[in-house]
Every structure is written in structure tokens, then in C-alpha cells.
Amino acid sequence: MKTAQKQLLLQGNEACVRGALMAGCRFYAGYPITPATEIMELMAREMPGVGGVFIQMEDEIASLGAVIGASLAGRKSMTATSGPGFSLMQEHIGFACMTEVPCVIVDVMRAGPSTGLPTQAAQGDIMQARWGTHGDHSIIALAPSSVYECLELTVQSFNLSEHYRTPVILLIDEAVAHMREGMSPPAEGEIAIEERVKPTVPPEWYIPYADPGNGVPPMSAFGDGYRYHVTGLYHDVRGYPTVREDEVGPLIQRLFSKISRDYDRLQWFDSYHMEDAEVAVIAYGCMARAALRAVREGRERGLKVGLIKLKIIWPFMRRTITRVLESSRKVLVPELNVGQISREVKRVNQTDCEVATLNKVDGTLITPAEILQKLEEIYP
């Protein structure tokens, strides 16, 4: 029988820190930036108590560089930032993708571009999370819509990062990051914690980038006696630079396939009132909260409306969204941007379903009343 957990009143950023510590994060490097600074402040306080290391770096570029180094040394590592800092981190994100270094980057989204509105909520970093760094690469990005999900999806970000040996981005919009809600922390063991797979062969037999069959090579820690080369250049299975077609092609294919082969597993969403919905709302982050209120009020008015709340943003959940498009007459995508996920919904739409949008970019939130009004306008 599980012991009842104490109810806590937490901010989204505070819950994120709790999730990171629960997942085993023991290294944090960062630089303060609104609206993510609380994560850094709490990590500075909590890391020493769990035997971890906190360091404030001179900027966001150095922060992610330190995080990558700590991960190579065997520590679960994280940083947090917002739009301008996230932009500075992009080259290192690409390096982590190429070198297959697990790490978690929290981007607390605010209005942009440039300095924008530092204290206002936005969801304008969705495409940057997917395509911010140059070149072809795969990426995983998650988006919580509640304080509890800030904890839960932080843990899952670490799990996915360790499982696939890849950087994972947690996209928290400012409204969720600074919102306070009552929540009961999960009991020990309630959320599984995944550790990276280490080599079981002697150091002299270790081939650091050889495919073991699932696309994810075991990863040794620097200092454990396994010596290998790490480079952002295209490399062979031993980590050394190469331009050979028979080595470059398989490398890039493996970096994609290690995630794409699990697309069925990476369909994380919550469904509300979709059983008979004629109009579906697809939303994420704080907009999913407003959309759920609108859907419930719409139901009270006799509208057959439902909600799909996205938890994984990238890879895009094409299979789930396709099923929604096939079963609905119309779809509405409310976002705090000019239309980023809605473009993906339209891209995969091969049906007669009409995709409508509702957008704001002025730093204010789209209200449940505005979503409900739009639902009534487009309702069959």
C-alpha cells in the first residue's frame, strides 16, 4: 500500500528542479535569464546536498559546453535558459546530437525574437527546438502543461536522453513555469528512472560508436578506463573523423533511426472527450489548459468537441494526429505564436478535415472564452 504523499504548493520551475533531482541529475551549469532563473537558483541550493555540482558559467554557450563535458564524465547533466540563451546554445546542441551525449536543456519560452518580452508567455521556440541547430539531425522535445508535468516530464526528459544518447529539450512556457499549483510528489518508484547503458566488454575491445542492434551504442564515462575519441566531425565507429561514404551514410542513418524506430513509443498525449468529437482541439503547454476549459464549456452547450493535449512535440506525433484528422470534421490549433505546430498539422493532413488556427503574439494568453468562441464559429 502506497503512503499518501504530502500536498505541496509548487511553481512549475520548482517542480522541474525536483524532477531533475529525482531523475539523478548531479551536474548543473547555467546562466541566469528570465523566466528560467528560479531553476538555476534552486539548483545552486540543492545540488550540494545531493553530492552534485553546480556552477554558474559566463554565458549560455559555456553552460552547455560544461554540461556536455560533465555528461561525458558520467554525470546526468542539465541546464536551463530562455529564448536568447537557447539561441546561443544551438551549436552545442548540434555537437551533442553528433557525439551522442545525453543531456537535458530546459527552455522556458518567452516572447521573442531578440529580447522580446522577457516576462511574458509565448510558444515561439517550437520550430527552433526542432531546427535551431544546423544540418540534419534528430531531436526529442517535450512540453508540460501543469506543475506536476513539469516534474514528470523532466524525469522523462532524462530517461529519454539516457535511453537514446541524445540531447532532450523540455519546452516550458512562462505561464506554466511561473504558475503555482498544489501537487503530490510521486512516491519513490512511481516514475521509473532509466540509466545509460555502459559497455560490458574490456576497454581494449570497446568500439564506442558501433551499433549494438538498437542504434544506441553503450557509453563509457571518461575516467573509467575506456579511451575513445569525441568529435563533431563525421566519424567512424571508433570516433575518428572520416569522409568515407560507407561510414558517413550509416552514421547519419543510425542517428535518425535510433529514434524513428520507436515512433510508436513516442506518442505521448492526453485525450479528453474525443470519443464522439466532431471538432478537435490540438494544444500543448498553457494553451492545453485553456483549451480543456473551453472544451468542457462547449460540451455543456451541446458541442461535440474534444482535446488532444500533446506532451511530446518532437518527433511530431504524425500517427496520432493523422488519426485525429481522420475522425474529425474540423481541428483547431491555438498557439502563442504565428502558427508553428498548426503548420505541422496541416502538413500531415491528407483528409478533408479543415484545420483552423487561433494565435496570439502580444504576450497575453488566449483565454478559454476566446477558444470557445472560435469553436462556435467553426463548428459544423
pLDDT in tens, 98-151: 999 999 999 999 999 999 999 999 999 999 999 999 999 999 999 999 999 999
Residue 226 lies in a domain: no
Work out the widest C-alpha separation in the chain, in whole angstroms.
69
Residue 254 lies in a domain: no
Q: 335 and 123 in contact (C-beta within 8 Å)?
A: yes
The domain boundary residue, chosen from 151, 183, 215: 183
Per-residue pLDDT, averaged over 315-322, amounts to 97
**Cell numbers at residue 148, please?**
506536476
Per-residue pLDDT, averaged over 232-248, amounts to 97
**Cell numbers at residue 243, please?**
569522409
pLDDT in tens, 12-59: 999 999 999 999 999 999 999 999 999 999 999 999 999 999 999 999
What is the chain's mean pLDDT, rounded? 96
Residue 66: band (very low, low, confident or very high) from pLDDT cuts 50, 70, 90: very high
In terms of domains, do 23 and 149 share one? yes
User: 133 vs 83, 97, 177, CA distance in Å?
Assistant: 14, 10, 24
The domain boundary residue, chosen from 168, 183, 198: 183
Residue 198 lies in a domain: no
In terms of domains, do 27 and 149 share one? yes
pLDDT in tens, 204-229: 999 999 999 999 999 999 999 998 89
Cα gap 336→364, rounded to integer Å: 8
In terms of domains, do 179 and 58 share one? yes
In terms of domains, do 160 and 275 share one? no
Which domain CATH number covers 157? Answer: 3.40.50.970
The string over 334-361, giving b where at least 16 C-beta atoms fall within 10 Å of a residue's C-beta and e elsewhere, is: bbbbebbbbbbbeeebeeebbbbbbebb
Which domain CATH number covers 293? Answer: 3.40.50.920
Question: Of 338, 318, 261, 285, nearest to 150 (Cα)?
Answer: 285
- Give the structural domain span for 281: 271-378
Cα gap 319→222, rounded to integer Å: 39
Give the pLDDT of residue 1: 45
Residue 304 lies in a domain: yes
Cα gap 197→220, rounded to integer Å: 8
Residue 2: band (very low, low, confident or very high) from pLDDT cuts 50, 70, 90: low
Residue 277: band (very low, low, confident or very high) from pLDDT cuts 50, 70, 90: very high
Residue 229 lies in a domain: no
Per-residue pLDDT, averaged over 188-196, amounts to 92
Within 8 A by CB and 6+ apart from 15, the residues are 147, 148, 150, 151, 154, 183
Residue 3 lies in a domain: no
In terms of domains, do 29 and 167 share one? yes
SS3 content of the chain, % helix, strand, coil (to 5): 40, 20, 40
In terms of domains, do 175 and 312 share one? no
Other residues' Cβ atoms within 10 Å of the Cβ of residue 259: 21
The domain boundary residue, chosen from 152, 183, 214: 183
Residue 241 lies in a domain: no
Give the pLDDT of residue 4: 54
In terms of domains, do 18 and 160 share one? yes
Q: Which residue has the cell 528542479?
A: 17
Q: What letter would DSSP give residue 199?
A: P
Domain count, the chain: 2
In terms of domains, do 295 and 176 share one? no
Within 8 A by CB and 6+ apart from 4, the residues are 184
Q: What percentage of the chain reaches a pLDDT higher than 90?
A: 96
In terms of domains, do 177 and 54 share one? yes
In terms of domains, do 174 and 287 share one? no
Q: 23 and 158 in contact (C-beta within 8 Å)?
A: yes
Within 8 A by CB and 6+ apart from 47, the residues are 26, 27, 28, 53, 54
Give the pLDDT of residue 3: 55
Residue 47 lies in a domain: yes
Give the pLDDT of residue 204: 94
In terms of domains, do 289 and 166 share one? no
**Cell numbers at residue 278, please?**
466532431
Give the pLDDT of residue 274: 98
In terms of domains, do 294 and 175 share one? no
